[in-house]
Structure 1
Amino acid sequence: MREDSSSAHSNDLGSTSATSTGSKQGAVDYESVDSGYLEQRQLKQGTAGWILLAGLGVSYVISGDFAGWNFGFAQGGFGGMFIATVLIALMYGCMVFGLAELSAMIPTAGGGYGFARRAMGPVGGFLTGTAILLEYAIAPAAIAVFIGGYTGALLGVDGPIIYALFYAVFVGIHLRGTGEALKIMLVITAIAVLALLLFVVGMLPHFSWDNLTDMPVNTDAVGASVWLPEGYWGIWGAIPFAIWLFLAVEGVPLAAEESKDPTRDMPKGIITAMLILLLLGGLVLFLAPGGSSAALMADHAAPLVGALQHVYGENSVLATVVNVVGLAGLIASFFSIIFGYSRQVFALSRAGYLPRWLSVTSARKVPVLALIVPGVFGFALSLTGAGDLMITMAVFGATLSYGLMMASHILLRLKEPDLERPYRTPGGILTTSIALVLSVVAFASTFVVSREAALWSAVFYGALVAYFALYSRHHLVAQAPEEEFAALAKAEAELQ
């Protein structure tokens, strides 16, 4: 035990007392704080039922149906992208069942950090939480670039002014309160789904299998054909873009502390969201290139609009309507991932893994700086305009976190078989083992697509790890919910 009477230290904790005590546990040091600390870091509870959570899961991802996925055609053609999507759909399906169990069992705002913290200790929790944070901080920047592509096609306005406007407006809405933000998000998502249905109706009569195989064939590639124009290697290269059709659905557990009944609502919400995303992703994957041209889709900034313009003409009413309404899809994901990164930053900061001032909440029970600071970082990143590069960077963090979360599920099943599980994953550890193996393959694919993007991601991730190793591991907060979950488990084990 130790005592620290530094006033600066006291202010950082947000305590009403000038003293704090701590203890050393293995590779980390814990500090105890008084009630004033957690009173300044509270989220508004009971704002989300399972329907709203399912809407949140769809909104996280739905922008992937409107832009980004199509870059996979340049890597592997339609065949490569299709095979990659089947594998990734299997990975996400298995993972979602695992997350349904974990989120009902450990319902905290930390999400994946909380799961890994319970299974693998503070180091595992930090590595998982910051991998998720890397994904969620970068993904909105890529989406901002895609929003610029759609506004450019519609209004002729693109670039930094659009990125800044959207960040300012939607961070601002989140600052008004969680309930209001999630309800607005649900409305925007419903509009986006309507746009996709209009697209499906418009493209279905024009579908042709021949349109799927018009990519030039690389005759030097092993296994090359009209279905696999870049050969077998192209399947691997298409994986990050197949992930974009489902990326961020794992963020639903980040709303656990704000849900009405997480043990019941979390499994229903995340599984429902995944089923909807599978249907929408499959329709877009076939109809956009099948109704127009796979070659046209390969580098199009607004692929759904481009496909409709190819069929109905550049100034067609349907293409214009889908462009206008389709912006809702990009906005929905942009909006909801802002929610996701703020909750991940909030949880890591509240527990002391990140600077503690990031987790202070306002009178409306929202983490103000956890919304603003990553937003500034994302805006700066969006100025590069490299949407495809940022997809790969986001996938780097995402797939790393997937592997760690699935390992957490397996470890908890083995280490704590008697732990109360309100929902149990069908197939148990076999299901999550499949997701774990595929996540490792997907992680490796980021180096195939862009070594530059993977290395930049590693640099950002390394900087966060260095902060933990040099500073924050010595200043963790014992009373943070995720830490208390783990402490209780340890105490129970020692008693037994």
Structure 2
Amino acid sequence: MAKDTLKVSGVKYTTADQGYFEKRRLTRTAGVWGLWGLAVAAVISGDFSGWNFGIDFAGFGGMLIAFAILVVMYYGLIFSIGEMASAMPHTGGAYSFSRAAMGPWGGFVTGLAETIEYVATTAVIVYFSAAYADSITAELLGFSMPAWVWWIVLYLVFIALNSAGASISFKFAIVVSIISIAILLVFSAMAIFSGAFSWDKLYDIAPDAGASAFLPHGVFPILFALPFAMWFFLGIEELPLAAEESHNPVRDIPRAGLWARGTLIVTGLLVLVLNTGVIGAEATGVAGEPLLDGFRAIVGDGAAAVLALFALIGLLASLQGIMFAYGRNMYSLSRAGYYPRFLSLTGKRQTPYVALFAGGLIGFIALVVVDAAGGATGVAGAIVLNIAVWGAVLAYLLQMVSFVILRRKYPNAKRPYRSPWGVGGAVTAAVIAALIFVGFLLNPTFLPAIIAIIVVYVVMLAIFALWGRHRLVLSPEEEYAVSGGLHGDPQAEGYGGAVEQELLAADGVDDAGGAADPVGGSGAS
């Protein structure tokens, strides 16, 4: 018997096999504090390293301005995401929002940007975690391993952790977030009360001719500092990916986003000001491990291994949080058929273990290839970091465009939470994201990352055009879009079943839920 099919906007949906969604279940285990822990854990490593390279471009003053600009962008972004997530409480996140607003191609482009962001960010954290771990074992235990061996160990351990169950993941996120925040607070207290902090050190970069100590290289380099300032917040936007594992996603995702955002603003400011004021702006701008250098400046090198362990805890917190994100992102795109469907299998633990392993394998291969190309210069971390930020910026921009479109396209859709900044907040966030995007294009340092992403997009779009768009499934994200916002809440309606049959059997339907689209067409067979 032929499967029912539905053709909409140049793609084709077919009925899923019996038991399809039962093999792709997630478990609701997270409350507001579990979500807070997930968001903070995903981001907190950015306080330990990565952010500081922006000071080399723009000085302390330029970095402070970049930080303020990004606070505005992330408020607009998280408010807007909170509204869309409350209307679409399923795992798709950014892909789901753009799918509803801009059709299957828009959803795929946005979802792929998030895949690139999270897989690359995980690889960056693995890269730096391996360096810290090897220095610790060399100092305390007298043994060292090649970087690639550490990469394998870290990936396997954290894939196992994330596959062990959502409840374990959320509890781990809370614990490591609290420990990481405690480490940052201890550093802050030591910096203030030890006398190591000096306001003069914030401005020790020699200004260019005609420039000031506050902006030693002028105003324009602030644009180049913005991608590095993102490290203070990058990853917080993953919260909607936990929608199907949250007890009350409509209430708790916006609330957790608010608390996590406030937490990260405080910790980011403490690190930006105090870390720079301890070791100096010039040294901070080129430091590979700025927080560790700050500890060393206060207590000396005698406890270097212990201090490195502190920094490693922050990195491992983010490794768990971001790995959770790429697992759910790939799971949702696979469940809908954009990626190979087997990637969304969840197993007895009801976690997307196949997607977690696949994302880890891709990240490991990327590190090996990029590091081999960089040779002794060890540029893998920097290049993959730039890939991660570029993917994030593209995803941010497309999500804010989606927010504006959805306000107009689905004016009567249920929105239990509404952004207090509304369309203006989304437009502001989009403009800032676009500026960062332009900064990438203007800075030759980012050229390898841009080339790598272009290659990925060309390959993936070709695969989707030739194969993927003919094999889509009416997952909750797709049901919401195809029904015009009437279906798609798995907590209330379940997965597939009657809702899927209703949409597939419709005699005429388009992406807005009305009459048949004369361009895309519709039909059942």
The TM-score, its normalising length taken from structure 1, stands at 0.91
Partner of residue 265 from structure 1, selected from 252, 263, 274: 252
> 101-110 vs 172-181, which deviates more?
172-181
2:176 alignment counterpart: 188
1:442 aligned to 2:436? yes
**Segments of 4+ moved more than 6 angstroms:** none
1:40 aligned to 2:23? yes
2:219 alignment counterpart: 232
1:125 aligned to 2:120? no
Q: Distance in 2 between matches of 1:390 and 1:226?
A: 32
- The Cα shift of 1:79 comes to 1.8
> Contact conserved, 2:78 with 2:257, CA < 8 A, in 1?
yes
Partner of residue 487 from structure 1, selected from 464, 482, 487: 482
2:400 alignment counterpart: 406
What amino acid does structure 1 have at the position aligned with 2:383?
L
Q: Distance in 2 between matches of 1:315 and 1:295?
A: 24
1:284-338 CA-to-partner distances (Å, cap 9, x unmatched) read: 011111122112222222211101212321114xx65443233111001111111
> Contact conserved, 2:76 with 2:421, CA < 8 A, in 1?
no
> Contact conserved, 2:79 with 2:421, CA < 8 A, in 1?
no
Structure 2, unaligned stretches of length 5 or more? 139-143, 372-377, 486-508, 516-525
- The Cα shift of 1:488 comes to 1.9
2:494 alignment counterpart: none
> Contact conserved, 1:21 with 1:33, CA < 8 A, in 2?
no
Q: Distance in 2 between matches of 1:323 and 1:493?
A: 56
1:424 alignment counterpart: 418
Query: What SS class does the counterpart of residue 5 from structure 2 fall into?
Result: strand
What amino acid does structure 1 have at the position aligned with 2:148?
P
Structure 1, unaligned stretches of length 5 or more? 4-18
- The Cα shift of 1:153 comes to 4.2
1:375 alignment counterpart: 360
What amino acid does structure 1 have at the position aligned with 2:286?
D
> Contact conserved, 2:79 with 2:420, CA < 8 A, in 1?
yes
> Contact conserved, 1:191 with 1:325, CA < 8 A, in 2?
no
Q: Distance in 2 between matches of 1:111 and 1:441?
A: 23
> 338-347 vs 481-490, which deviates more?
481-490
Q: Distance in 2 between matches of 1:464 and 1:174?
A: 26
1:451 alignment counterpart: 447
> Contact conserved, 1:403 with 1:436, CA < 8 A, in 2?
yes
What amino acid does structure 2 have at the position aligned with 1:452?
P
- The Cα shift of 1:181 comes to 1.9
Q: Distance in 1 between matches of 2:12 and 2:280?
A: 58
Q: Distance in 2 between matches of 1:217 and 1:451?
A: 27
Q: Distance in 2 between matches of 1:151 and 1:71?
A: 22
2:499 alignment counterpart: none
Q: Distance in 1 between matches of 2:290 and 2:134?
A: 13
What amino acid does structure 2 have at the position aligned with 1:31?
T
2:128 alignment counterpart: 146
1:460 alignment counterpart: 456
1:209 aligned to 2:199? yes
What amino acid does structure 1 have at the position aligned with 2:514?
E
Query: What SS class does the counterpart of residue 192 from structure 2 fall into?
Result: helix
1:316-364 CA-to-partner distances (Å, cap 9, x unmatched) read: 4xx6544323311100111111110010000000101011111111111
- The Cα shift of 1:65 comes to 0.4
> Contact conserved, 1:195 with 1:322, CA < 8 A, in 2?
no
- Could you tell me the percent identity over the aligned residues? 39
> Contact conserved, 1:60 with 1:333, CA < 8 A, in 2?
yes
Partner of residue 381 from structure 2, selected from 384, 387, 393: 387
- The Cα shift of 1:130 comes to 0.7
Q: Distance in 2 between matches of 1:65 and 1:346?
A: 29
The TM-score, its normalising length taken from structure 2, stands at 0.86
1:304 alignment counterpart: 291
> Contact conserved, 1:245 with 1:281, CA < 8 A, in 2?
yes
- The Cα shift of 1:254 comes to 0.3
Q: Distance in 1 between matches of 2:159 and 2:176?
A: 15
1:216-255 CA-to-partner distances (Å, cap 9, x unmatched) read: 4344xxx633222332232111111001111111001100
Partner of residue 471 from structure 1, selected from 446, 461, 467: 467
Q: Are the structure 2 counterparts of residues 102 and 470 from structure 1 closer, same or farther at C-alpha, using a change threshold of 3 Å?
A: same
> Contact conserved, 1:136 with 1:338, CA < 8 A, in 2?
yes
